[in-house]
Amino acid sequence: MEIGAVIPHHEIGSDPGAIRAFAQGAEELGVTHLLIYDHVVGVDRNRPGGFEGPYDSNVAFHEPMVLFGFLAACTTRVELVTAVLILPQRQATLVAKQAAEIAILSGDRLRLGVGVGWNTVEYDALNEDFHTRGRRQAEQVELMRRLWTEDVFSFHGEFHRFEHASILPRPTAPIPVLFGGSAPALLERCARLGDGWMPLGSPNDKTAERIAELQRMRAGAGMPWDGFEIRAQAQYAGGDPDRWRGHAAKWGELGATHMAIATHNAGPTDVDGHLARIAEYVAAVSD
């Protein structure tokens, strides 16, 4: 199981030197991938009618595609992973263009994790329909893969239509697309269209059932399980070496291929503190 780290989106701040130091320091510690979360806008909890959700207007999120363009130049080995990009609130062709550019500049290190999101206000702010996001996501992935690999073509879908167009430059290798989420419809899309799954839950019986369902659906569609990735996450907060080892072992038994440690929400610290937490986790699970 490969070990990575979650970029502490809110706590890393806005100093480019600190962001560079974190990414390079994590790479020097031997992590194989860096994850970034995604939200475009935050919502005021005190607005008329209120607002419920895990994040609000006081939480900072760096824009994944722009950040990864920067990190492509700052690092040399780590995979750059969106976990997850809320794809249906974005223009698919523009995402395909941005992803192709990151792949080119990074030497094919981009891994595009996509989700459908939960924040209706964010969809409103981006002028996209929240209620068609699942169907649109499936069509977006199909369209992006064609844009990454084909010369001029026409596309006539439910949500996207154009005649005789393409993007250049295109990546020299396929960009893996992974799906985050756990709803039945999402798992079906993941099995049919995905290169892997990004679970949000714990390594419990419910997660095991979802992985088994993904295996059944891929087998039923004649698609291989070999090479299909399971990219999980762990929390530094509230843990200790024994707990981290046990958690990683359970994920390993379920077939997880990657694990990323999230070091934020564990008390105030700086870049060196986040890197020390990553090093502590890596040492624990590598014993």
What are the pLDDT digits (tens) for 71-113? 999 999 999 999 999 999 999 999 999 999 999 999 999 999 9
User: Per-residue pLDDT averaged across 25-36, rounded?
Assistant: 98
What are the pLDDT digits (tens) for 260-282? 999 999 999 999 999 999 999 99
**What is the pLDDT at residue 141?**
98
Confidence of residue 188 (pLDDT cuts 50, 70, 90): very high
Dig out the tokens for 26 from the structure: 């994590």
Q: Which residue has the tokens 């291929």?
A: 257
CATH architecture of 2-286: Alpha-Beta Barrel (3.20)
**What is the pLDDT at residue 254?**
98
- CA 70/CA 64 separation, integer angstroms: 10
Give this prediction's pTM.
0.96
For residue 115, the number of C-alpha atoms closer than 13 Å in the C-beta half-sphere is 21
Averaged pLDDT of the chain:
97
Dig out the tokens for 88 from the structure: 């249906």
Residue 185 has pLDDT above 80, yes or no: yes
Confidence of residue 117 (pLDDT cuts 50, 70, 90): very high
Residue 287 has pLDDT above 90, yes or no: no
Other CB atoms within 10 A of residue 66 CB: 11
**What is the pLDDT at residue 145?**
98
Please check whether residue 190 is in contact with residue 179, taking contact to mean a CB–CB distance below 8 angstroms.
yes
